[in-house]
Structure 1
Amino acid sequence: MALLAGAIPVAIASSSSTSLAPVSCSAQAVQQNVSFRKNASATAAEEQILSGQRPGKKSRYRRKRKSQERQPGELDPPVNIAVVDEDSVTEICKLLESRLPEGILVGSLAAFQGLYFSHIAVCKILQRTKDPDVALAFFQWLTREACYKPNTVAYNCLLNTLIKAGRIHQVREMLNRKTLGEFVHSEFTYGTLVHGHCLAGEFDEAKRLVEEFKDTGMSPGSLVVLHNLMLKGFSEAGFVDEAKSHLHRMDCKPNSVSYNTLIDALCSSGRIQEAREELQAMAKRGVAPNRVTYNAMATGLGKAGLLDEAFELMGVMESAGFALTAVTFNPVVEFLCKSGRPDEACKVMETMLLRNIEPNILTLNLILHAFCKAARPEEALGMTDIMVEMGFCPTIVTFNALLELFCNTDQMDSAAKLLETMAHSKCKPNFVTYSIMVQKFAEMGRMVEARAFLEQLVVCGYAPNLLVCNAYVAGLCKTGEMDLASRFLTVMAEEGCRANTATYNSLVEGFCKLGRMDEAERVLEEMIAEGSLPDSTTYSVLIQGLCSAGQIEHAFMVMLQVTRAVESARPDPATFVKLIEKLCELGEMDRAALVLERMGDEHEEFRVCQVLISNSQH
């Protein structure tokens, strides 16, 4: 089956009534197709999308009437007592997020003390509160000062907040000591605890809870949910074999969630054949695959480069009654883009458009980024036009990809204009944005600009990572600002960013270029003392620096020491040639021959050096 060789694969084409001519692979062709669709007989919703609007939808989050804002069994609020409404919930959440000391926080909450807190309102507040200590303090205030009597759901919301923060042991202690008072454990309580122990890597305890649940007399249907949480825990921890074994040993029938969790974990681990086998086992046990199942398999096949099989699976998916979406196609697009094949990725998007499957912003950003990596600015900018044409706003990923493209192609004026555009848009620069600029200006030796962007990065609350720091140090060394570079190394250490071999290599090279060989060797000693191993670059730079400084004897001794002791740090062939040349100039033929012997005859330069030594002897 040919991959998009003028048409889509048979498995997909057979389920479509669209007549497909050979598709073009250019971004321009895709844009023309977008325009065609816009002018065709589209539905009103499609026209809204293509004109940059979204079709009108009834909000999934419409505020319910107050009569509906109660859980089943919850009593009406007392007469003449104000109820905590949505505005009050928002105010309380803002107060809890303000990180006030507990004493001040409790005092501030007194303003809400006379209100009636429904269970729904309490759950909303707990779910929005990320800080577990604040959530606990609020809950304790509720029960002490606001005369609130929590139900099982409210208790479970609190436990879930604590467990998400890794506080499973605190939760177990609270339950054992009945710190929160008496409340009946529900299926959700067990699920929360199982999930918490899995997050902590305590799978034996999670299994014990599943066994305990069987003796509670609660709904047997909930047992599979607990097993699914175990499967999710194993999968997220990378224990795919354990997840597979657990599914096969379940004492209840697995459902689609069980299989989807395992299939996704297998696909993410590149274990495609095992995922295929589980898909077959799923059908044999009478569990029907759903959209999540097929998308997980399509993602695994796409990322593994098994594109023909991915397209065949899409055909099966359609035959089963599931519509294909951008989520299904994106793994194929991603593989092609990461493989440096953006033109073929465009073909896939063209196929999607011909089948009235709208690409999403991820599809477009993947292709745009691939064109940027390939240094094809015209096609990359064409993709931004397509985004706008389809009603999408460029994201920070879009801007950063274009910014990197402009920097890599030395279009710094365009980069500056793009930054100005970002400043006036809703898409503000982020860590990646500033990192790109620091690295580019440092590479160009324009350290004033590099320093300005580095300072802006810090002002915005980001901590420079090792990549950014190394680029900045390399720039300082390149411009001969060695004292600043050395001081910056100290700043890195203070900020917890530990220098590595690349950092020290920049310093060694900088000192060598200035002929400050004592300091270059001091950096080498510091490097070893700090646990960063010198590599081939380190010794190549140092030996060539010693040669340039006329310290041939010392260079010879370093060469002997390195080639005798550290194979992985052998200098490059150019360094051998330079040292042999210097030794020949001094008439040190025996030493030159010894260095040639250490070089090895596998290098092309070996013959050149042989001739050099032979000519110098005559």
Structure 2
Amino acid sequence: MCKLHAMDKAEDVLQQMLDRGILPDVATYTSLMHGYYSLGQCEEVDRIFKEMSRNGVQPDIVTSNIQMDYLCKNGRCAEARKIFDSMVSLGQKPTVTTYSILLHGYAMERSFHDMNCLIDLMVGNGIAPNHFIYNILISAYAKEEMVDDVLHIFTKMRQQGLNPNVVNYGAVINLLSSFGRMDDAMSQFNQMIAEGLAPDIIVFNPLIRGFCSCGKWKKVHELFSEMLDRGIYPNTVFFNTIMDRLCKYGRVMEAQDLFDLMVHMGVKPDVCTYNTLIGGYLFVGKMDEVSKLLDNMVSIGMEPDVITYNILIDGYSKNGRIDDALVVSREMLAGKVKPCVITFNIMIGALLKCGRKEEAKDLFDGIWAKGLVPTVVTYSLMIQKLIEEGSLQESDDLFVSMEKNGCAADSHMLNAIVRSLFRKGEVPRAGTYLSKIDERSFTLEASTASLLTALASGGKGQEYKELLPEKYHSFLEQGTD
């Protein structure tokens, strides 16, 4: 019944047992716990475990593992450790599964000290960590981008007589590739091949992506060919990833070739595929190709999504075709696809850039009507434009209104406001916003610090000191050196 998730019937049988004086054993309680756990009803798992303890039934390894897994996945590793220690005190020997459950919990909590102590305990108790255990360690350190620690674990595996498997290699290659350490990533790849392991798409994907990011296109083609030679056929996500990198480097024709190959191989493009190519053609200013892709999308019954519209609006704006961008945005507003706040940010930024402030303000005011809320980016665009025009009180009022509406300024926005005020010669006002940077423990960006230092070059360093927070006086002194 528990396997069929008929938990009400299982509970009825349990009650009948109790009514007849038949005490449930550990197998009964374990079945119930497993049934509730597989349904995700963790509170019921907890209830059964406590009921079991009240009735004096000692849990076995399987029962304890279920309870520990539930606790660890809910951030309650300390309670799970108590169960683990209780098992040991009762003479039960934890299995590799038991250790892996607790280890995974510590990994989720980033408790690296506890993880290492548990591994030492495991080895001390004569249980050799397997590939799965090591992959938990590798993944935990990789998430924190602790490359040297990951490589140390990798070396430790071999020292303990365990050769890494494809999953272990994949995790390490992915981490090295994400840091641009492509020589090291290829070294691991070659070692993997030398050990007779066959790389899969999980291994090839980060390698090819990494070489794309480095602009080493010859290596990209070599790896792609090797992957196909090995009979590994990429999926839509793989093609999208590589096409995205190509388009960002302006290599749109190569991305188009990949698109054609994708279709030839029977891999179906999705909206993300089209969005990537559309963005690429807009980036290089090939507007006719954009129209063809949109027509192609519609002809195969694929509807543009909000990202498609955002890419189009942004692309038209950057190519100086602001009116075409407005047409697209109006088409979007009138159609099925609802704009997001990013859509408004793109349009507001474009309109402000070409001096159409009133239209930008109308869009800003219309955000709420669409059930959206302006972001820090939206407010920052409007405030910087007001400062540029000299509408300083209006910009201050908008800043106050923003924070009252629960949208707190971030470091980037405050730095941008300070720079805008410095450029307008509004040093006292800039001092007010510098104080906010200080109060919120934000960092002064290099470009802001440069403008601050430049203030003293006109011989007014001493005068400006009285207008700015003391923390920033040293910048003015640097400017007089």
Length-normalised TM-score, structure 2:
0.72
Aligned equivalents of 2:289, 2:131: Cα separation in 1: 50
Partner of 1:532: 409
Partner of 1:229: 101
Q: Give 1:224's aligned amino acid.
A: V
Partner of 1:360: 234
Partner of 1:464: 340
Would the alpha carbon gap of residues 286 and 397 (structure 1) be closer, same or farther in structure 2, given more than 3 Å must change? same
Would the alpha carbon gap of residues 169 and 571 (structure 1) be closer, same or farther in structure 2, given more than 3 Å must change? same
Q: How does 1:113-152 map to 2 (within 5 A)?
A: 122-123=4-5, 139-140=7-8, 152=30
Determine whether 1:447 maps to 2:326.
yes
Q: 189, 192, 205: which one pairs with 2:66?
A: 192
Aligned equivalents of 1:565, 1:538: Cα separation in 2: 7
Q: 229, 254, 266: which one pairs with 2:141?
A: 266
Task: Assess if the C-alpha contact under 8 Å between 1:235 and 1:262 holds in 2.
Answer: yes
Aligned equivalents of 1:155, 1:288: Cα separation in 2: 36
Determine whether 1:415 maps to 2:415.
no
Q: How does 1:369-448 map to 2 (within 5 A)?
A: 369-425=244-300, 429-430=304-305, 432-440=307-315, 445=322, 446-448=325-327
Task: Assess if the C-alpha contact under 8 Å between 1:375 and 1:405 holds in 2.
Answer: yes
Determine whether 1:297 maps to 2:172.
yes
Partner of 1:484: 362
Q: 324, 329, 333: which one pairs with 2:204?
A: 329
Deviations 1:205-257 (A, max 9, x none): 11122233446777x4x621021122222223444443233222224332221
Partner of 2:116: 244
SS of equivalent to 1:481: helix
SS of equivalent to 1:264: helix
Distance apart, 1:334 and its partner CA: 1.7
Task: Assess if the C-alpha contact under 8 Å between 1:194 and 1:229 holds in 2.
Answer: yes
Q: 280, 283, 302: which one pairs with 2:158?
A: 283
Between the two structures, name the one with larger relative contact order (CA 8 Å, sep ≥ 6): 1
Superposition RMSD in Å: 4.6
SS of equivalent to 1:247: helix
Task: Assess if the C-alpha contact under 8 Å between 2:107 and 2:137 holds in 1.
Answer: yes
Deviations 1:511-540 (A, max 9, x none): 567776653443244346564266354355
SS of equivalent to 1:292: helix
Q: Runs of 5+ in structure 1 lacking a partner? A: 1-117, 124-137, 545-554, 581-591, 607-618
Task: Assess if the C-alpha contact under 8 Å between 2:281 and 2:289 holds in 1.
Answer: yes
Partner of 2:381: 506
Distance apart, 1:563 and its partner CA: 5.3
Aligned equivalents of 1:154, 1:413: Cα separation in 2: 64
Would the alpha carbon gap of residues 190 and 575 (structure 1) be closer, same or farther in structure 2, given more than 3 Å must change? closer
Percent of aligned positions with the same letter in both sequences? 19
Q: Give 2:96's aligned amino acid.
A: V
Distance apart, 1:341 and its partner CA: 3.4
Distance apart, 1:315 and its partner CA: 3.5
Would the alpha carbon gap of residues 515 and 302 (structure 1) be closer, same or farther in structure 2, given more than 3 Å must change? closer
Deviations 1:332-357 (A, max 9, x none): 2121122343443223223444x535
Deviations 1:383-410 (A, max 9, x none): 1122233342224442221122133334
Length-normalised TM-score, structure 1:
0.58
Would the alpha carbon gap of residues 506 and 296 (structure 1) be closer, same or farther in structure 2, given more than 3 Å must change? closer
Q: How does 1:517-528 map to 2 (within 5 A)?
A: 518-527=393-402
Task: Assess if the C-alpha contact under 8 Å between 2:33 and 2:45 holds in 1.
Answer: no
Q: Give 2:118's aligned amino acid.
A: H
Q: 562, 566, 570: which one pairs with 2:434?
A: 566
Determine whether 1:156 maps to 2:30.
no
Q: Give 1:376's aligned amino acid.
A: R
Would the alpha carbon gap of residues 328 and 518 (structure 1) be closer, same or farther in structure 2, given more than 3 Å must change? closer
Q: Give 1:562's aligned amino acid.
A: A
Distance apart, 1:506 and its partner CA: 1.8
Aligned equivalents of 1:153, 1:226: Cα separation in 2: 18
Task: Assess if the C-alpha contact under 8 Å between 1:380 and 1:402 holds in 2.
Answer: yes
Q: Give 2:427's aligned amino acid.
A: M
Task: Assess if the C-alpha contact under 8 Å between 2:29 and 2:49 holds in 1.
Answer: no
SS of equivalent to 1:372: helix
Would the alpha carbon gap of residues 291 and 508 (structure 1) be closer, same or farther in structure 2, given more than 3 Å must change? closer
Q: Runs of 5+ in structure 2 lacking a partner? A: 18-27, 436-443, 465-474
Distance apart, 1:368 and its partner CA: 1.6
The structure in which a higher percent of residues are helix is 2
Aligned equivalents of 1:573, 1:324: Cα separation in 2: 49
Task: Assess if the C-alpha contact under 8 Å between 2:211 and 2:217 holds in 1.
Answer: yes
Would the alpha carbon gap of residues 298 and 543 (structure 1) be closer, same or farther in structure 2, given more than 3 Å must change? closer
Deviations 1:119-164 (A, max 9, x none): 65x25xxxxxxxxxxxxxx74378669x99999556414223326x
Q: Give 2:70's aligned amino acid.
A: G
SS of equivalent to 1:318: helix
Distance apart, 1:574 and its partner CA: 9.7
Distance apart, 1:204 and its partner CA: 0.8
Q: Give 2:40's aligned amino acid.
A: L
Aligned equivalents of 1:448, 1:326: Cα separation in 2: 42
Would the alpha carbon gap of residues 266 and 575 (structure 1) be closer, same or farther in structure 2, given more than 3 Å must change? closer
Distance apart, 1:369 and its partner CA: 1.5
Aligned equivalents of 2:60, 2:313: Cα separation in 1: 54
Would the alpha carbon gap of residues 542 and 313 (structure 1) be closer, same or farther in structure 2, given more than 3 Å must change? closer
Aligned equivalents of 1:151, 1:256: Cα separation in 2: 31
Q: Give 1:279's aligned amino acid.
A: F
Distance apart, 1:413 and its partner CA: 4.5
Would the alpha carbon gap of residues 384 and 498 (structure 1) be closer, same or farther in structure 2, given more than 3 Å must change? same
Would the alpha carbon gap of residues 431 and 211 (structure 1) be closer, same or farther in structure 2, given more than 3 Å must change? farther
